[in-house]
Amino acid sequence: MKACSKPDIPHHWSNFYTAKAFRKSGGEMVERLAEYLAESQARRKDFVLPYTPPEERLVYWKSRLKEKGGVEAGALWKANMLEEVLAQSNRLHDPRYAGHQVAIPLPQLAWLQAATALLNNGMAIDEMGPASSPMEEAVMQEIAQFMGLGSASGGILCHGGTLANLTALLAARQRKATGNAWKDGSERKCAVLVSEHAHYCVDRAVRVMGWGEAGTVKVRTLSNHQIDPESLRESLTEATAQGLEVIAVVGNACTTSTGTFDDLEVLASFAQQNDLWFHVDGAHGAAQVFSERNNASLKGMEKADSVAMDFHKMLGVPALCTGLFYRNGSDAYAAFSQEAAYLYENEQEEWWNLSKRTFECTKRMLSVAVFGIWEAHGHKLWESLVNRLIDRAQTAARSIEQRPHWELFAQPQSNIVCFRLKGADNAALRHAMMEHGPHYIVKTVFDGETWLRCTFQNPITEDSDIESLLDRLEELAESEIIQP
Ligand SMILES: Cc1ncc(COP(=O)(O)O)c(C=O)c1O
Protein backbone atom coordinates (compact mmCIF):
# COMPACT_ATOMS: atom_id res chain seq x y z
CA MET A 1 0.00 0.00 0.00
CA LYS A 2 2.83 2.34 0.93
CA ALA A 3 4.45 2.12 -2.50
CA CYS A 4 1.35 3.37 -4.30
CA SER A 5 0.10 5.83 -1.69
CA LYS A 6 -0.35 9.27 -3.26
CA PRO A 7 -2.03 11.35 -0.59
CA ASP A 8 -1.17 14.57 -2.40
CA ILE A 9 -3.36 13.60 -5.38
CA PRO A 10 -6.98 13.94 -4.23
CA HIS A 11 -8.44 11.41 -6.65
CA HIS A 12 -5.82 8.71 -6.33
CA TRP A 13 -7.52 5.43 -5.42
CA SER A 14 -5.16 4.72 -2.56
CA ASN A 15 -6.67 7.58 -0.55
CA PHE A 16 -9.95 5.71 -0.32
CA TYR A 17 -9.11 2.08 0.36
CA THR A 18 -7.95 2.73 3.90
CA ALA A 19 -9.55 1.75 7.17
CA LYS A 20 -8.64 5.19 8.48
CA ALA A 21 -10.63 7.09 5.83
CA PHE A 22 -13.47 4.64 6.26
CA ARG A 23 -13.61 5.09 10.01
CA LYS A 24 -13.51 8.88 9.75
CA SER A 25 -16.34 9.18 7.21
CA GLY A 26 -18.39 6.55 9.03
CA GLY A 27 -18.16 8.32 12.35
CA GLU A 28 -19.34 11.57 10.80
CA MET A 29 -22.12 9.76 8.96
CA VAL A 30 -23.49 8.08 12.09
CA GLU A 31 -23.77 11.41 13.88
CA ARG A 32 -25.36 13.18 10.94
CA LEU A 33 -27.91 10.45 10.23
CA ALA A 34 -28.85 10.11 13.89
CA GLU A 35 -29.54 13.85 13.95
CA TYR A 36 -31.57 13.58 10.72
CA LEU A 37 -33.63 10.76 12.23
CA ALA A 38 -34.25 12.66 15.46
CA GLU A 39 -35.29 15.85 13.67
CA SER A 40 -37.58 13.93 11.29
CA GLN A 41 -39.29 12.00 14.06
CA ALA A 42 -39.74 15.19 16.06
CA ARG A 43 -41.45 16.88 13.07
CA ARG A 44 -38.91 19.68 13.28
CA LYS A 45 -39.32 20.60 9.59
CA ASP A 46 -42.59 22.10 8.48
CA PHE A 47 -42.95 19.61 5.63
CA VAL A 48 -42.40 15.94 4.89
CA LEU A 49 -41.73 16.46 1.20
CA PRO A 50 -39.62 19.56 0.48
CA TYR A 51 -41.60 20.25 -2.69
CA THR A 52 -40.00 21.99 -5.65
CA PRO A 53 -40.74 21.24 -9.31
CA PRO A 54 -38.52 18.50 -10.82
CA GLU A 55 -37.09 20.89 -13.45
CA GLU A 56 -35.78 23.18 -10.73
CA ARG A 57 -34.05 20.31 -8.98
CA LEU A 58 -32.49 19.11 -12.23
CA VAL A 59 -31.11 22.60 -12.90
CA TYR A 60 -29.63 22.59 -9.40
CA TRP A 61 -27.92 19.20 -9.75
CA LYS A 62 -26.69 19.98 -13.25
CA SER A 63 -25.21 23.25 -12.06
CA ARG A 64 -23.27 21.40 -9.38
CA LEU A 65 -21.72 19.17 -12.03
CA LYS A 66 -20.30 22.27 -13.71
CA GLU A 67 -18.10 22.71 -10.61
CA LYS A 68 -16.50 19.29 -10.66
CA GLY A 69 -13.50 18.52 -8.46
CA GLY A 70 -12.05 20.71 -5.74
CA VAL A 71 -12.44 18.29 -2.82
CA GLU A 72 -9.93 17.92 -0.05
CA ALA A 73 -7.69 14.85 -0.06
CA GLY A 74 -9.48 11.70 1.11
CA ALA A 75 -12.99 13.04 0.50
CA LEU A 76 -15.08 10.84 -1.80
CA TRP A 77 -17.93 13.35 -2.13
CA LYS A 78 -18.29 17.05 -1.47
CA ALA A 79 -19.18 17.89 2.09
CA ASN A 80 -22.47 19.56 1.23
CA MET A 81 -23.69 16.89 -1.18
CA LEU A 82 -25.08 14.66 1.57
CA GLU A 83 -26.62 17.73 3.20
CA GLU A 84 -28.46 18.50 -0.05
CA VAL A 85 -29.60 14.89 -0.42
CA LEU A 86 -31.01 15.00 3.10
CA ALA A 87 -32.58 18.39 2.52
CA GLN A 88 -34.24 17.49 -0.77
CA SER A 89 -35.42 13.97 0.07
CA ASN A 90 -38.89 12.88 1.12
CA ARG A 91 -38.67 12.45 4.91
CA LEU A 92 -40.17 9.04 5.46
CA HIS A 93 -39.38 9.00 9.17
CA ASP A 94 -41.49 12.08 9.78
CA PRO A 95 -44.70 10.76 11.42
CA ARG A 96 -46.73 12.87 8.99
CA TYR A 97 -45.64 10.65 6.09
CA ALA A 98 -48.61 8.61 4.80
CA GLY A 99 -47.75 8.35 1.12
CA HIS A 100 -46.64 5.52 -1.12
CA GLN A 101 -46.05 1.96 0.03
CA VAL A 102 -42.46 1.84 1.04
CA ALA A 103 -41.06 0.84 4.42
CA ILE A 104 -40.01 3.43 6.91
CA PRO A 105 -36.83 1.47 7.52
CA LEU A 106 -36.10 0.19 10.99
CA PRO A 107 -33.20 2.61 11.43
CA GLN A 108 -30.63 0.11 12.65
CA LEU A 109 -31.01 -1.85 9.43
CA ALA A 110 -29.09 0.97 7.76
CA TRP A 111 -26.00 -0.37 9.54
CA LEU A 112 -26.62 -3.92 8.31
CA GLN A 113 -27.10 -2.46 4.86
CA ALA A 114 -23.78 -0.64 5.22
CA ALA A 115 -22.06 -3.80 6.43
CA THR A 116 -23.31 -5.86 3.52
CA ALA A 117 -22.48 -3.06 1.08
CA LEU A 118 -18.91 -3.21 2.30
CA LEU A 119 -18.76 -7.01 2.07
CA ASN A 120 -20.52 -6.93 -1.29
CA ASN A 121 -20.75 -10.70 -1.64
CA GLY A 122 -22.59 -11.07 -4.90
CA MET A 123 -24.74 -14.12 -4.02
CA ALA A 124 -24.94 -15.61 -7.51
CA ILE A 125 -23.12 -18.75 -6.41
CA ASP A 126 -22.32 -20.14 -3.01
CA GLU A 127 -18.68 -19.07 -3.02
CA MET A 128 -19.79 -15.49 -3.55
CA GLY A 129 -22.19 -15.65 -0.60
CA PRO A 130 -20.89 -18.24 1.82
CA ALA A 131 -22.68 -16.64 4.77
CA SER A 132 -25.68 -15.04 3.13
CA SER A 133 -26.68 -18.01 0.90
CA PRO A 134 -27.34 -20.56 3.68
CA MET A 135 -28.88 -17.74 5.74
CA GLU A 136 -31.31 -17.13 2.88
CA GLU A 137 -32.13 -20.81 2.44
CA ALA A 138 -32.71 -21.32 6.16
CA VAL A 139 -34.81 -18.25 6.80
CA MET A 140 -36.91 -18.55 3.64
CA GLN A 141 -37.75 -22.18 4.46
CA GLU A 142 -38.87 -21.20 7.95
CA ILE A 143 -40.94 -18.25 6.78
CA ALA A 144 -42.54 -20.32 4.00
CA GLN A 145 -43.59 -22.87 6.59
CA PHE A 146 -44.83 -20.17 8.92
CA MET A 147 -47.00 -18.98 6.03
CA GLY A 148 -48.58 -22.43 5.94
CA LEU A 149 -47.12 -23.39 2.57
CA GLY A 150 -46.14 -26.81 3.86
CA SER A 151 -43.11 -28.98 4.46
CA ALA A 152 -41.91 -28.98 0.81
CA SER A 153 -42.04 -25.20 0.57
CA GLY A 154 -39.18 -22.76 0.17
CA GLY A 155 -38.29 -19.50 -1.43
CA ILE A 156 -35.76 -16.98 -2.62
CA LEU A 157 -35.11 -13.30 -2.05
CA CYS A 158 -34.98 -10.90 -4.94
CA HIS A 159 -34.96 -7.19 -5.76
CA GLY A 160 -38.61 -6.21 -5.72
CA GLY A 161 -42.17 -7.41 -6.11
CA THR A 162 -42.08 -6.65 -9.83
CA LEU A 163 -39.27 -9.14 -10.36
CA ALA A 164 -40.85 -11.66 -7.97
CA ASN A 165 -44.13 -11.61 -9.91
CA LEU A 166 -42.31 -12.08 -13.21
CA THR A 167 -40.26 -14.94 -11.74
CA ALA A 168 -43.38 -16.66 -10.39
CA LEU A 169 -45.06 -16.43 -13.78
CA LEU A 170 -41.97 -17.87 -15.47
CA ALA A 171 -42.20 -20.85 -13.12
CA ALA A 172 -45.94 -21.08 -13.85
CA ARG A 173 -45.26 -21.14 -17.58
CA GLN A 174 -42.78 -23.98 -17.20
CA ARG A 175 -45.15 -26.01 -15.06
CA LYS A 176 -48.43 -25.37 -16.88
CA ALA A 177 -47.91 -24.30 -20.49
CA THR A 178 -47.74 -26.80 -23.32
CA GLY A 179 -44.17 -27.63 -24.37
CA ASN A 180 -40.96 -26.26 -22.97
CA ALA A 181 -41.17 -22.51 -23.40
CA TRP A 182 -37.83 -21.88 -21.72
CA LYS A 183 -36.10 -24.00 -24.36
CA ASP A 184 -38.24 -23.66 -27.46
CA GLY A 185 -40.26 -20.49 -26.89
CA SER A 186 -44.01 -20.50 -26.28
CA GLU A 187 -45.91 -22.85 -28.58
CA ARG A 188 -49.16 -21.02 -28.02
CA LYS A 189 -50.08 -17.60 -26.74
CA CYS A 190 -50.61 -18.04 -23.05
CA ALA A 191 -52.63 -15.89 -20.69
CA VAL A 192 -53.04 -15.11 -17.04
CA LEU A 193 -56.28 -14.27 -15.23
CA VAL A 194 -55.89 -11.26 -13.00
CA SER A 195 -58.03 -8.62 -11.35
CA GLU A 196 -58.67 -5.44 -13.30
CA HIS A 197 -57.14 -3.70 -10.26
CA ALA A 198 -53.90 -5.67 -10.23
CA HIS A 199 -50.57 -3.85 -10.06
CA TYR A 200 -49.29 -2.98 -13.53
CA CYS A 201 -46.23 -5.17 -13.06
CA VAL A 202 -48.28 -8.32 -13.68
CA ASP A 203 -49.28 -7.02 -17.11
CA ARG A 204 -45.68 -5.99 -17.70
CA ALA A 205 -44.45 -9.50 -16.83
CA VAL A 206 -46.94 -11.01 -19.28
CA ARG A 207 -45.76 -8.69 -22.06
CA VAL A 208 -42.12 -9.46 -21.25
CA MET A 209 -42.98 -13.14 -21.77
CA GLY A 210 -44.23 -12.26 -25.22
CA TRP A 211 -47.97 -12.73 -24.82
CA GLY A 212 -48.86 -9.11 -25.55
CA GLU A 213 -51.84 -7.19 -24.32
CA ALA A 214 -54.20 -10.15 -24.72
CA GLY A 215 -52.08 -12.21 -22.34
CA THR A 216 -53.42 -10.31 -19.35
CA VAL A 217 -57.05 -11.24 -18.99
CA LYS A 218 -58.46 -8.57 -16.71
CA VAL A 219 -61.23 -10.02 -14.61
CA ARG A 220 -64.04 -7.70 -13.51
CA THR A 221 -64.32 -6.96 -9.82
CA LEU A 222 -67.13 -6.33 -7.40
CA SER A 223 -67.73 -2.80 -6.15
CA ASN A 224 -65.22 -3.42 -3.33
CA HIS A 225 -62.52 -4.24 -5.95
CA GLN A 226 -62.48 -7.95 -5.13
CA ILE A 227 -62.44 -10.37 -8.09
CA ASP A 228 -65.99 -11.35 -9.02
CA PRO A 229 -66.07 -15.20 -9.04
CA GLU A 230 -68.72 -15.20 -11.76
CA SER A 231 -66.57 -13.01 -14.02
CA LEU A 232 -63.60 -15.23 -13.31
CA ARG A 233 -65.41 -18.23 -14.79
CA GLU A 234 -66.61 -16.18 -17.76
CA SER A 235 -63.12 -14.78 -18.40
CA LEU A 236 -61.62 -18.27 -18.50
CA THR A 237 -64.28 -19.48 -20.92
CA GLU A 238 -63.87 -16.45 -23.19
CA ALA A 239 -60.06 -16.53 -23.20
CA THR A 240 -60.04 -20.25 -24.00
CA ALA A 241 -62.58 -19.71 -26.78
CA GLN A 242 -60.23 -17.10 -28.26
CA GLY A 243 -57.49 -19.72 -28.49
CA LEU A 244 -55.46 -18.56 -25.50
CA GLU A 245 -53.87 -21.11 -23.21
CA VAL A 246 -54.68 -19.85 -19.73
CA ILE A 247 -51.98 -21.00 -17.34
CA ALA A 248 -52.48 -19.08 -14.11
CA VAL A 249 -54.71 -17.03 -11.90
CA VAL A 250 -53.18 -14.22 -9.88
CA GLY A 251 -54.81 -13.07 -6.64
CA ASN A 252 -54.32 -9.66 -5.07
CA ALA A 253 -53.29 -9.52 -1.45
CA CYS A 254 -53.94 -6.68 -1.55
CA THR A 255 -54.62 -4.20 -4.36
CA THR A 256 -52.24 -1.28 -4.50
CA SER A 257 -54.90 1.35 -4.89
CA THR A 258 -57.41 0.51 -2.19
CA GLY A 259 -55.85 -2.31 -0.16
CA THR A 260 -58.52 -4.85 -1.12
CA PHE A 261 -57.84 -8.57 -0.72
CA ASP A 262 -59.23 -11.02 -3.24
CA ASP A 263 -61.01 -14.04 -1.80
CA LEU A 264 -57.99 -16.33 -1.96
CA GLU A 265 -60.01 -19.41 -0.94
CA VAL A 266 -62.24 -18.95 -3.97
CA LEU A 267 -59.26 -18.38 -6.27
CA ALA A 268 -57.42 -21.40 -4.87
CA SER A 269 -60.27 -23.79 -5.56
CA PHE A 270 -60.88 -22.22 -8.99
CA ALA A 271 -57.21 -22.77 -9.84
CA GLN A 272 -57.35 -26.35 -8.62
CA GLN A 273 -60.53 -27.17 -10.56
CA ASN A 274 -59.06 -25.77 -13.77
CA ASP A 275 -55.49 -26.97 -13.36
CA LEU A 276 -54.09 -23.44 -13.21
CA TRP A 277 -51.09 -22.13 -11.33
CA PHE A 278 -52.22 -20.00 -8.41
CA HIS A 279 -49.98 -17.03 -7.67
CA VAL A 280 -50.66 -14.51 -4.92
CA ASP A 281 -49.32 -11.02 -5.45
CA GLY A 282 -48.89 -10.29 -1.77
CA ALA A 283 -46.21 -7.67 -2.35
CA HIS A 284 -48.00 -5.40 0.06
CA GLY A 285 -50.41 -7.43 2.18
CA ALA A 286 -48.90 -10.93 2.52
CA ALA A 287 -47.02 -9.40 5.45
CA GLN A 288 -50.28 -9.61 7.40
CA VAL A 289 -49.60 -13.33 7.74
CA PHE A 290 -47.46 -12.40 10.75
CA SER A 291 -50.40 -10.84 12.56
CA GLU A 292 -52.94 -13.03 14.31
CA ARG A 293 -55.30 -10.06 14.44
CA ASN A 294 -54.99 -9.17 10.75
CA ASN A 295 -54.36 -12.42 8.88
CA ALA A 296 -57.97 -13.41 8.13
CA SER A 297 -57.90 -11.72 4.70
CA LEU A 298 -55.13 -14.10 3.67
CA LYS A 299 -57.13 -17.29 4.17
CA GLY A 300 -56.40 -19.48 1.15
CA MET A 301 -52.91 -18.07 0.54
CA GLU A 302 -51.46 -21.28 1.96
CA LYS A 303 -52.88 -23.11 -1.09
CA ALA A 304 -51.00 -20.89 -3.54
CA ASP A 305 -48.27 -22.30 -5.75
CA SER A 306 -46.31 -19.09 -5.26
CA VAL A 307 -46.53 -15.93 -3.17
CA ALA A 308 -44.63 -12.65 -3.55
CA MET A 309 -44.12 -10.65 -0.36
CA ASP A 310 -42.16 -7.40 -0.07
CA PHE A 311 -40.17 -7.06 3.13
CA HIS A 312 -39.67 -3.44 2.08
CA LYS A 313 -43.33 -2.43 2.44
CA MET A 314 -44.98 -3.21 5.79
CA LEU A 315 -42.02 -4.98 7.39
CA GLY A 316 -39.55 -2.15 7.92
CA VAL A 317 -36.73 -3.48 5.70
CA PRO A 318 -34.99 -0.99 3.36
CA ALA A 319 -35.85 -1.40 -0.34
CA LEU A 320 -35.55 -3.60 -2.25
CA CYS A 321 -36.09 -6.90 -0.48
CA THR A 322 -38.78 -9.30 -1.68
CA GLY A 323 -39.52 -12.90 -0.80
CA LEU A 324 -40.84 -15.22 -3.49
CA PHE A 325 -42.22 -18.32 -1.81
CA TYR A 326 -43.22 -21.59 -3.46
CA ARG A 327 -45.46 -24.30 -2.01
CA ASN A 328 -43.23 -26.77 -3.79
CA GLY A 329 -39.73 -25.38 -3.32
CA SER A 330 -38.49 -27.25 -6.41
CA ASP A 331 -40.73 -25.15 -8.65
CA ALA A 332 -38.25 -22.31 -8.18
CA TYR A 333 -35.83 -24.13 -10.46
CA ALA A 334 -38.43 -24.32 -13.20
CA ALA A 335 -38.33 -20.57 -13.79
CA PHE A 336 -34.77 -20.63 -15.11
CA SER A 337 -32.51 -23.34 -16.38
CA GLN A 338 -29.38 -21.83 -17.73
CA GLU A 339 -26.20 -23.37 -18.93
CA ALA A 340 -23.38 -21.16 -17.71
CA ALA A 341 -20.12 -23.01 -17.53
CA TYR A 342 -18.35 -20.03 -15.95
CA LEU A 343 -20.77 -20.20 -12.99
CA TYR A 344 -22.27 -23.66 -12.57
CA GLU A 345 -20.84 -27.12 -12.83
CA ASN A 346 -24.13 -28.77 -13.73
CA GLU A 347 -27.84 -28.11 -14.18
CA GLN A 348 -28.93 -29.80 -10.97
CA GLU A 349 -31.02 -28.28 -8.23
CA GLU A 350 -28.44 -26.80 -5.90
CA TRP A 351 -29.93 -24.57 -3.23
CA TRP A 352 -26.51 -23.05 -2.52
CA ASN A 353 -26.14 -21.58 -6.00
CA LEU A 354 -28.95 -19.09 -5.61
CA SER A 355 -28.87 -17.60 -9.09
CA LYS A 356 -30.29 -20.88 -10.40
CA ARG A 357 -33.55 -19.61 -8.92
CA THR A 358 -33.32 -15.84 -9.38
CA PHE A 359 -33.48 -13.51 -12.34
CA GLU A 360 -30.54 -11.62 -10.93
CA CYS A 361 -27.03 -12.91 -11.23
CA THR A 362 -25.37 -10.59 -8.72
CA LYS A 363 -27.73 -9.56 -5.97
CA ARG A 364 -27.34 -7.77 -2.66
CA MET A 365 -26.94 -9.79 0.54
CA LEU A 366 -30.66 -9.48 1.15
CA SER A 367 -30.93 -12.32 3.62
CA VAL A 368 -28.89 -10.68 6.35
CA ALA A 369 -31.58 -8.20 7.42
CA VAL A 370 -34.40 -10.75 7.13
CA PHE A 371 -32.44 -13.40 9.00
CA GLY A 372 -31.40 -10.90 11.67
CA ILE A 373 -34.96 -9.90 12.48
CA TRP A 374 -36.31 -13.44 12.27
CA GLU A 375 -33.61 -14.88 14.51
CA ALA A 376 -33.96 -12.08 17.05
CA HIS A 377 -37.76 -11.87 17.14
CA GLY A 378 -39.43 -14.63 15.14
CA HIS A 379 -42.63 -13.17 13.72
CA LYS A 380 -43.32 -11.01 16.78
CA LEU A 381 -41.68 -7.74 15.72
CA TRP A 382 -43.41 -7.89 12.34
CA GLU A 383 -46.69 -8.73 14.05
CA SER A 384 -46.50 -5.64 16.23
CA LEU A 385 -45.44 -3.46 13.30
CA VAL A 386 -48.23 -4.69 11.03
CA ASN A 387 -50.80 -4.30 13.84
CA ARG A 388 -49.69 -0.75 14.53
CA LEU A 389 -49.81 0.28 10.86
CA ILE A 390 -53.26 -1.20 10.32
CA ASP A 391 -54.44 0.38 13.55
CA ARG A 392 -53.32 3.76 12.15
CA ALA A 393 -55.46 3.18 9.05
CA GLN A 394 -58.46 2.15 11.15
CA THR A 395 -58.07 5.23 13.33
CA ALA A 396 -58.03 7.41 10.23
CA ALA A 397 -61.12 5.65 8.87
CA ARG A 398 -63.03 6.28 12.11
CA SER A 399 -62.13 9.93 12.06
CA ILE A 400 -63.11 10.30 8.40
CA GLU A 401 -66.50 8.72 9.12
CA GLN A 402 -67.11 11.05 12.03
CA ARG A 403 -66.45 14.17 10.00
CA PRO A 404 -69.24 15.60 7.89
CA HIS A 405 -68.43 16.13 4.18
CA TRP A 406 -65.99 13.23 4.01
CA GLU A 407 -66.50 9.90 2.25
CA LEU A 408 -64.60 6.70 3.03
CA PHE A 409 -64.13 4.24 0.15
CA ALA A 410 -64.19 1.18 2.42
CA GLN A 411 -63.16 0.01 5.88
CA PRO A 412 -59.41 -0.61 5.62
CA GLN A 413 -58.35 -4.26 5.45
CA SER A 414 -54.75 -3.19 5.50
CA ASN A 415 -52.86 0.06 6.20
CA ILE A 416 -54.26 1.70 3.05
CA VAL A 417 -57.20 4.13 3.27
CA CYS A 418 -58.97 5.83 0.38
CA PHE A 419 -61.26 8.76 1.07
CA ARG A 420 -62.41 12.05 -0.41
CA LEU A 421 -63.92 15.34 0.45
CA LYS A 422 -67.38 15.46 -1.07
CA GLY A 423 -67.81 18.14 -3.69
CA ALA A 424 -64.13 19.13 -3.68
CA ASP A 425 -61.52 18.85 -6.39
CA ASN A 426 -59.61 16.07 -4.64
CA ALA A 427 -56.79 16.04 -7.21
CA ALA A 428 -56.16 19.74 -6.56
CA LEU A 429 -56.43 19.12 -2.84
CA ARG A 430 -53.77 16.48 -2.94
CA HIS A 431 -51.54 18.67 -5.08
CA ALA A 432 -51.97 21.53 -2.63
CA MET A 433 -50.92 19.27 0.22
CA MET A 434 -47.90 18.09 -1.74
CA GLU A 435 -46.80 21.66 -2.43
CA HIS A 436 -47.61 23.22 0.90
CA GLY A 437 -47.46 20.34 3.38
CA PRO A 438 -46.82 19.62 6.07
CA HIS A 439 -48.26 16.11 5.55
CA TYR A 440 -47.50 13.84 2.62
CA ILE A 441 -50.29 11.76 1.10
CA VAL A 442 -51.05 10.53 -2.42
CA LYS A 443 -54.09 9.95 -4.61
CA THR A 444 -55.58 7.32 -6.85
CA VAL A 445 -58.14 7.26 -9.62
CA PHE A 446 -60.73 4.59 -10.28
CA ASP A 447 -64.02 4.63 -12.16
CA GLY A 448 -62.86 8.02 -13.42
CA GLU A 449 -62.90 9.59 -9.95
CA THR A 450 -60.05 10.83 -7.81
CA TRP A 451 -59.65 9.65 -4.23
CA LEU A 452 -57.13 10.71 -1.65
CA ARG A 453 -55.01 7.80 -0.54
CA CYS A 454 -52.96 7.26 2.58
CA THR A 455 -50.75 4.30 3.31
CA PHE A 456 -49.85 4.47 6.97
CA GLN A 457 -46.32 3.20 6.85
CA ASN A 458 -44.92 4.99 9.86
CA PRO A 459 -45.55 3.34 13.24
CA ILE A 460 -44.65 6.61 14.99
CA THR A 461 -47.68 8.37 13.45
CA GLU A 462 -49.89 9.49 16.34
CA ASP A 463 -53.66 9.96 16.48
CA SER A 464 -52.94 13.69 16.59
CA ASP A 465 -51.05 13.48 13.27
CA ILE A 466 -54.11 11.87 11.71
CA GLU A 467 -56.39 14.59 13.07
CA SER A 468 -54.07 17.32 11.91
CA LEU A 469 -53.90 15.74 8.45
CA LEU A 470 -57.68 15.89 8.08
CA ASP A 471 -57.84 19.40 9.57
CA ARG A 472 -55.18 20.55 7.14
CA LEU A 473 -57.02 19.08 4.16
CA GLU A 474 -60.18 20.90 5.23
CA GLU A 475 -58.20 24.11 5.63
CA LEU A 476 -56.64 23.72 2.17
CA ALA A 477 -60.03 22.99 0.63
CA GLU A 478 -61.31 26.29 2.05
CA SER A 479 -58.21 28.29 1.23
CA GLU A 480 -57.58 30.29 -1.90
CA ILE A 481 -54.80 27.85 -2.83
CA ILE A 482 -57.42 25.63 -4.40
CA GLN A 483 -60.36 28.07 -4.47
CA PRO A 484 -59.39 30.50 -7.25
C1 LIG B 1 -49.69 -5.30 -5.23
C2 LIG B 1 -48.32 -4.89 -5.70
N3 LIG B 1 -47.62 -5.72 -6.48
C4 LIG B 1 -46.39 -5.41 -6.92
C5 LIG B 1 -45.82 -4.20 -6.60
C6 LIG B 1 -44.45 -3.87 -7.13
O7 LIG B 1 -43.52 -4.08 -6.12
P8 LIG B 1 -42.05 -3.46 -6.15
O9 LIG B 1 -42.21 -1.98 -6.06
O10 LIG B 1 -41.39 -4.06 -4.98
O11 LIG B 1 -41.43 -3.87 -7.45
C12 LIG B 1 -46.51 -3.29 -5.79
C13 LIG B 1 -45.91 -1.99 -5.45
O14 LIG B 1 -46.51 -1.14 -4.84
C15 LIG B 1 -47.79 -3.66 -5.32
O16 LIG B 1 -48.50 -2.85 -4.53
Answer yes or no: is the C-beta of 202 below 6 A from any ligand 1 atom. no
Question: Is the CATH number 3.40.640.10 carried by domain 119-378?
Answer: yes
- Contact between 322 and 311 under an 8 Å Cβ cutoff? The reply is yes
In this predicted structure, what is the pLDDT of residue 161?
Answer: 97
Which SS3 state, helix, strand or coil, does residue 61 take? helix
Atom of ligand 1 lying closest to residue 320 CA = 10
Contact 101 CB / ligand 1 (< 6 Å): yes
Q: What pLDDT sits at residue 186?
A: 82
- Which residues have a Cβ under 8 Å from the Cβ of 381 and sit 6 or more positions away? 316, 373
307 DSSP 8-state letter:
E
C-alpha 466 to ligand 1 mean position (Å):
25
Is pLDDT above 80 for 142? yes
Asked whether the beta carbons of 352 and 131 are under 8 A apart, the reply is no
Protein residue closest via CA to atom 16 of ligand 1: 256
For residue 199, pLDDT beyond 50: yes
User: How far is the centre of ligand 1, averaged over its atoms, from the C-alpha of 253 (Å)?
Assistant: 11
Domain boundaries in the chain?
119-378
Q: What confidence tens digit (pLDDT) does each residue in 237-246 have?
A: 999 999 999 9
The SS3 call for residue 255 is coil
Q: What confidence tens digit (pLDDT) does each residue in 339-380 have?
A: 666 767 777 889 999 999 999 999 999 999 999 999 999 999
Answer yes or no: is the C-beta of 284 below 6 A from any ligand 1 atom.
Answer: yes
- Rounded Cα distance, 397 and 98, in Å: 13
Higher pLDDT, 416 or 334: 416
Residue 471, pLDDT > 50, answer: yes
C-beta of residue 389 within 8 angstroms of C-beta of residue 314: yes
Atom of ligand 1 nearest to the CA of 253: 1
Mean pLDDT of the chain: 94
276 pocket-lining for ligand 1 (C-beta < 6 Å): no
Q: How remote is the CA of residue 111 from the centroid of ligand 1, in Å?
A: 25
The rounded Å distance from CA 314 to ligand 1 centre is 12
CA 309 to ligand 1 center in whole angstroms:
9
* Residue of 193, 210, 205, 199 lying closest to 248 (CA atoms): 193
pLDDT of res. 6: 55
Q: Is the CB of 162 under 6 A from ligand 1?
A: yes
Pocket test for ligand 1, best of 262, 288, 306, 310 (most atoms within 8 A of CB): 310
User: Separation of 319 CA from ligand 1 center, angstroms?
Assistant: 11
CB of 256 sitting under 6 A from ligand 1: yes
Q: Contact at 8 Å (CB) between 237 and 265?
A: no
- pLDDT higher than 50, residue 210: yes
Ligand 1 centroid, distance to 258 Cα (angstroms)? 13
Could you give the percent of the chain with pLDDT greater than 90?
87
Q: What is the pLDDT of residues 267-307, one digit of tens each?
A: 999 999 999 999 999 999 999 999 999 999 999 999 999 99
Atom number of ligand 1 nearest to Cα 310: 10
Does 201 sit in the ligand 1 pocket, CB within 6 Å?
A: yes
Q: Are residues 353 and 125 in contact, defined by beta-carbon separation less than 8 angstroms?
A: yes
- Indicate if the pLDDT at residue 81 is higher than 80: yes
Closest CA to 103 of 343, 341, 339, 315: 315
- SS3 per-residue string spanning 444-466: EEECCEEEEEEECCCCCCCHHHH
> Position 286: which residue type?
A
**Ligand 1 in contact with 322 (CB < 6 A)?**
yes
